[in-house]
């Protein structure tokens, strides 16, 4: 009998899981992959889009290219999930399956930060990054603030990357001396699991005169007074605000009974939720790794191994290590890397790789290898 699988969300996690199941089970698989959008893009391409390094259309990869044995893609919006019946309702109909995998990622709640929508910008959504293509060229003097509004947030290095890339962008336009840059993050160090990567980032901030404000979150923006208020009550003047908005699980997940305290709890060993044969992977979970594509991909591998073992009646021997490599744009045409492992040792640890031009090639390969694997391109 065919294995009926529903994969909700065709991001990092959903694409990797569908690919593995197709490779392992092939035509015995009856997998429906559902996403509201018609195309995929890497999270980091938003940085390329906002700073004008790439055209928005060139970073999108159409889901039409998902052609795999046993897999069909549907562009539909998921409106309800019943984890008991393993039944999903979408804008176009209803689906049922033997196995359900929730990989719906994280959304943004701009309203949670008063003044952000009216007086600031965010670059975490594609639309926000596209809008900044028009905003950034008009910023030529004053104080630019890159600020995190709430934790957890996707890709912990991304605020540091935005500050460093903004420095390069302003330098190239010949206006850097007329501008100051501040970076506000809720941690004591830029990358807490890796003191070495944090040290390299702090050195880069110092060399570029970027003010680093640790252990603070942005509480609100006052567009009329042009001030950013922090969670300790202090204020900073600003002329340009690049925000990382509060993250939330998609509403359909919050309504499904799968979430607790805002995210879906899962068993670390196999990514199973509290409902039998219902898995959750990636940013939508509270598994304990940062919200990043590499960790969503790792979770997909673990969940896929558990699904395949159950289907084949074999023992599942794989375990989620919470390990992954994150590339970090350091500016000046260089990329650094930190290899982080969250679950293998007594505490999370990261191995630092100095920024280099070689790692630019490495990062390109990271993207092109996924494009080939998931889309055959």
Ligand X SMILES: Cc1cc2nc3c(=O)[nH]c(=O)nc-3n(C[C@H](O)[C@H](O)[C@H](O)COP(=O)(O)OP(=O)(O)OC[C@H]3O[C@@H](n4cnc5c(N)ncnc54)[C@H](O)[C@@H]3O)c2cc1C
Residues forming contacts to ligand X in the complex (CB under 6 A) are 9-14, 34-37, 43-44, 46-47, 77-78, 103-105, 124, 154-155, 158, 250, 252, 282-284, 291-294, 296, 326-327
CB of 220 to ligand X, least distance (A): 22
Nearer to ligand X, 47 or 170 (CB): 47
Residue 12: CB minimum distance to ligand X, A: 4
Given the complex with ligand X, which of 78 and 116 has the nearer CB atom?
78
Closest distance to ligand X from the beta carbon of 1 (Å):
28
Question: Which residues, other chains included, contact 124 with Cβ-Cβ below 8 Å and sequence gap of 6+?
Answer: 46, 108, 153, 154, 158, 244, 245
Nearer to ligand X (CB atom), residue 14 or residue 70: 14
Q: Which of 104, 170 has the CB closer to ligand X?
A: 104
User: Which residue lies nearer to ligand X by CB, 29 or 103?
Assistant: 103
* Separation between Cα atoms, residue 17 and residue 32, nearest integer Å: 12
Shortest Å, Cβ 313 to ligand X: 28
* Residue 90 or 220 with smaller CB distance to ligand X: 90
Q: How far is the CB of 179 from ligand X (least distance, A)?
A: 21
Q: Which is nearer to ligand X, 154 or 217 (CB)?
A: 154
SS3 for 73-110, per residue?
EEECCEEEEECCCCEEEECCCEEECCEEEECCCCEEEH
Closest-by-Cβ residue to ligand X is: 11
> At its nearest, how many Å lie between ligand X and the CB of residue 110?
14
Contact, 300 vs 281, CB < 8 A? yes
Kindly tell me which of 311 and 327 has the beta carbon lying closer to ligand X: 327
Q: Give me the least distance between CB of 288 and ligand X, in Å please.
A: 14
Sheet holding 3-8, edge to edge: 71-75, 29-35, 3-8, 99-102, 278-280
CB of 79 to ligand X, least distance (A): 7
The whole-angstrom distance between residue 167's C-alpha and the CA centroid of its chain comes to 23
CB of 30 to ligand X, least distance (A): 20
Both tokens assigned to 207? 């060399």
Shortest CB 229 distance to ligand X, Å: 24
CA distance 95 to 161: 41
Choice between 229 and 263, CB closer to ligand X: 263
Pick between residue 139 and residue 327 the one whose CB is nearest to ligand X: 327
């Amino acid at each position: 009998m065919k294995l009926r699988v529903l994969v909700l969300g065709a991001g990092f996690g959903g694409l990797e899981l569908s690919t593995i199941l197709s490779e392992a089970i092939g035509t015995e698989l009856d997998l429906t992959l559902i996403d509201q959008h018609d195309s995929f893009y890497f999270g980091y391409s938003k940085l390329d889009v906002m700073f004008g390094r790439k055209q928005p259309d060139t970073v999108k990869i159409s889901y039409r290219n998902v052609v795999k044995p046993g897999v069909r893609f549907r562009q539909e919006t998921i409106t309800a999930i019943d984890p008991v019946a393993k039944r999903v309702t979408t804008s176009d109909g209803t689906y049922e399956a033997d196995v359900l995998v929730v990989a719906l990622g994280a959304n943004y709640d701009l309203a949670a930060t008063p003044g952000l929508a009216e007086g600031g910008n965010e670059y975490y959504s594609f639309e926000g990054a596209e809008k900044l293509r028009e905003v950034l060229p008009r910023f030529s003097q004053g104080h630019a603030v890159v600020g995190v509004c709430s934790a957890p947030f996707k890709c912990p290095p991304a605020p540091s990357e935005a500050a460093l890339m903004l420095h390069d962008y302003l330098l190239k336009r010949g206006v850097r001396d007329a501008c100051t840059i501040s970076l506000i993050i809720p941690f004591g160090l830029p990358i807490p699991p890796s003191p070495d990567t944090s040290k390299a980032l702090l050195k880069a901030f110092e060399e570029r005169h970027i003010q680093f404000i640790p252990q603070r979150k942005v509480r609100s923006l006052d567009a009329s007074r042009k001030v950013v208020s922090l969670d300790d009550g202090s204020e900073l003047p600003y002329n340009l605000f690049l925000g990382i908005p509060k993250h939330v699980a998609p509403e359909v997940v919050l309504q499904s009974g799968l979430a607790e305290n805002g995210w879906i709890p899962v068993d670390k060993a196999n990514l199973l939720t509290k409902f039998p044969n219902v898995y959750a992977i990636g940013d939508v979970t509270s598994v304990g790794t940062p919200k990043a594509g590499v960790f969503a991909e790792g979770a997909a591998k673990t969940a896929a191994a558990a699904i395949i073992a159950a289907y084949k009646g074999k023992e599942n021997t794989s375990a989620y290590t919470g390990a992954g490599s994150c590339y970090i744009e350091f500016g000046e045409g260089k990329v650094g890397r930190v290899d982080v492992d969250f679950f293998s040792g007594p505490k999370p640890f990261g191995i630092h790789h100095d920024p280099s031009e070689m790692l630019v090639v490495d990062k390109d390969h990271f993207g092109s290898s996924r494009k080939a694997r998931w889309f055959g391109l």
